Amino acid sequence: MSFANEPVLELRRAPVRESLLEGLSALDARLPLEVPVLVGGEAGAAAGLDSTDPGDPSRLVARAGRAGPAEAAAAVEAAERGSGEWSSRPAAERARVLSGAAARLRERRLELAALQVRECAKPWREADADVCEAIDFLEYYALAAVELEEGRALVQAPGERNTMRYVPRGVAAVIAPWNFPLAIPCGMTAAALAAGNAVVLKPAEQSPASAHALVEALHGAGVPPDALALLPGHGDAGAALVADPRVHVVAFTGSSAVGLEIVRAAAETPDAQPHLKRVVAETGGKNCVIVDADADLDEAVPEIVYSAFGYAGQKCSAAARVLVHEAIADTLEERLAGAVAVLRVGQAERFATDVPPVIDEEARERVAAYTAAAAREGGIAARAEAPPGGGSFAPAVLATGLPESSPVLREEVFGPLLAVTRVPDLDAACDIVDSLPFALTGGLFSRSPGAVERVVRRSPVGNLYVNRGTTGAMVGRQPFGGNRRSGSGSKAGGPDYLLGFVEPRVVTENTMRHGIPVE
């Protein structure tokens, strides 16, 4: 079998838009959803953690249980039991289960997209793509598991036989973010399961219902109850999983600060723990787009604006800085300012919205603080104002003239704020990129093959996009993951990703036998 990406919906078609709105209406009639703690197939508490609509905080989307350290310990205990049964299944059987879960997500596609609109204020285009990416991860890793089971070819010599195979590590703790509430937890969970591990999934507290839908699909497709647990809750549940000596691998996507805490905690190896924990991490970014003097601005401006403000800049891959050649800086700033000023900030459910609400009030306040700093230290070239009324809305802002020492230029804002910096040449732009602690995505707009080659050679980022936006990595096409403080370099949606969840084992056999024993 071959892999093909799940096609996204064509939102320009009126019947498609109507079907999505019908799905939203059907979902609204069922709110709030109930999300219990799930351990060993048993439903535990289903209260203590509320998920609300960022665009209307009075709307309760889900009422979830709040797992803590005790539930984390119970989930790991169940996972130890489930690991043996699940890992003993051939890879082809595990692959069929994952493909079955993908089919279940397809069946619920409209509902799941609507859930993201409500739970995370994700616009329709982004929400539908998120569901498609989750399906892609399941199908892609299903195929990868079968290939991995075949092992790797080794050099053979006369008189010996060498074989190399991969075995699951055991129990995987998956700690997921809210900004891709279905796709990212699905990717990490599917990879761990495909490789034969048992999984304890701890989703972000803002998106428990989306994670619950994923677990329902996987259990319904045949993942044993003990091999997959769901722990909605706050950070204490995740910290307990990281510290548990029975956990073998931690898969995390989120902020760099939390990622570094996890790396430090996972490095602790008490005497009762006979293994070193593997950490598969994808963390933050301060992603720069370089615009050379010969760039096609008709191409660059819309791509930069969408990369920076799509989903309100709440993507680790979002464009945060533009490093523009001083020869065209005035023109680019003017055009970016015009494009930003007319962005429509509004509710995620409206198809015309360009910039939805940020995830919660804490995020809005953080973005506001960075925006105020940008106004003090430089200037605001354009602002698309948020609508009046409730909701965690942040204006879309274009900042210019900031000193290189500004935190706005060096820290991850994770919101709709884009800063422009003028540079004398490509080398100066590359120097800035190289000075940052992050290395996740980057962009370049240039018509010169030589310029492209120079930036490719110097760029430390995990994913560099040339003459296109910096977001929207596709499974199988653009394996995704960052370097430096942007992650462990693991490439989600790529051919090597499952290697983070397995142990390689080599057997060398002397084939020059001296007789055969008689039994």
Phi, psi of 207 (to 5 degrees): -135, 50
Residues 178 and 304 in one domain: no
Span 166-178, average pLDDT: 97
Give the C-alpha separation, 27 to 151, whole Å: 45
Find, among 48, 258, 44, 9, the residue nearest to 135 by Cα: 9
Domain that holds residue 372: 287-466
Which residues touch 104 (CB under 8 Å, ≥6 apart)? 216, 217, 220, 221
Exposure string of 352-364, with b = 16+ CB inside 10 Å and e = fewer, is ebbbbbbbbeebb
pLDDT band at 475 (very low <50, low <70, confident <90, very high): very high
Which residues touch 216 (CB under 8 Å, ≥6 apart)? 104
Residues 315 and 455 in one domain: yes
pLDDT digits (tens, 9 = 90+) for 86-108: 999 999 999 999 999 999 999 99
Residue 511 inside a domain? The answer is: no
Residues 67 and 184 in one domain: yes
DSSP, collapsed to helix, strand or coil, labels residue 152 as strand
Residues 172 and 70 in one domain: yes
Residue 478 inside a domain? The answer is: no
Q: What is the pTM of this model?
A: 0.96
Residue 210 inside a domain? The answer is: yes
CATH of the domain at 429: 3.40.309.10
CATH of the domain at 270: 3.40.605.10
Number of independent structural domains in the chain: 2
Both tokens of 270, joined, read 């008490």
pLDDT band at 386 (very low <50, low <70, confident <90, very high): confident
Residue 516 inside a domain? The answer is: no
- What number of other Cβ atoms are within 10 A of residue 87's Cβ? 18
pLDDT digits (tens, 9 = 90+) for 207-223: 999 999 999 999 999 99
pLDDT digits (tens, 9 = 90+) for 417-470: 999 999 999 999 999 999 999 999 999 999 999 999 999 999 999 999 999 999
Catalytic residue check, 282: yes
Both tokens of 426, joined, read 């490509």
pLDDT at 519 over 80: no
| Catalytic one of 120, 316, 349, 412 | 316
Find, among 407, 471, 416, 417, the residue nearest to 440 by Cα: 471
Residue 69 inside a domain? The answer is: yes
pLDDT band at 127 (very low <50, low <70, confident <90, very high): very high
pLDDT at 346 over 90: yes
Residue 9 inside a domain? The answer is: no
Span 354-363, average pLDDT: 97
Beta bridge partners of 48: 65
Q: Is the dihedral of CA 242, 246, 248, 251 positive or negative?
A: negative
Residues 265 and 209 in one domain: yes
336 and 398 in contact (C-beta within 8 Å)? yes
Catalytic residue check, 288: no
pLDDT at 51 over 80: yes
pLDDT digits (tens, 9 = 90+) for 248-265: 999 999 999 999 999 999
pLDDT digits (tens, 9 = 90+) for 280-301: 999 999 999 999 999 999 999 9
Residues 319 and 268 in one domain: no
* pLDDT for 273: 95
Residue 97 inside a domain? The answer is: yes
Residue 20 inside a domain? The answer is: no
- Write out the E strands in 9-153: 33-35, 38-39, 42-43, 48-53, 56-65
Give me the percent of the chain exceeding a pLDDT of 90: 96
Give the C-alpha separation, 389 to 396, whole Å: 17
Residues 292 and 198 in one domain: no
End-to-end CA distance of the chain: 45
| Catalytic one of 71, 139, 282, 349 | 282
Residues 189 and 265 in one domain: yes
Residues 47 and 193 in one domain: yes
Residues 228 and 317 in one domain: no
pLDDT at 139 over 90: yes
pLDDT at 515 over 70: no
- What number of other Cβ atoms are within 10 A of residue 401's Cβ? 16
Give the C-alpha separation, 413 to 407, whole Å: 9
Q: Are strands 48-53 and 56-65 parallel, antiparallel or unpaired?
A: antiparallel
pLDDT band at 394 (very low <50, low <70, confident <90, very high): very high
Residues 339 and 260 in one domain: no
Give the C-alpha separation, 482 to 234, whole Å: 26
Provide the residue count of the chain. 519
Element (H, E) at 20: helix 14-28
* pLDDT for 513: 73
pLDDT at 498 over 90: yes
DSSP, collapsed to helix, strand or coil, labels residue 63 as strand
Residues 237 and 322 in one domain: no
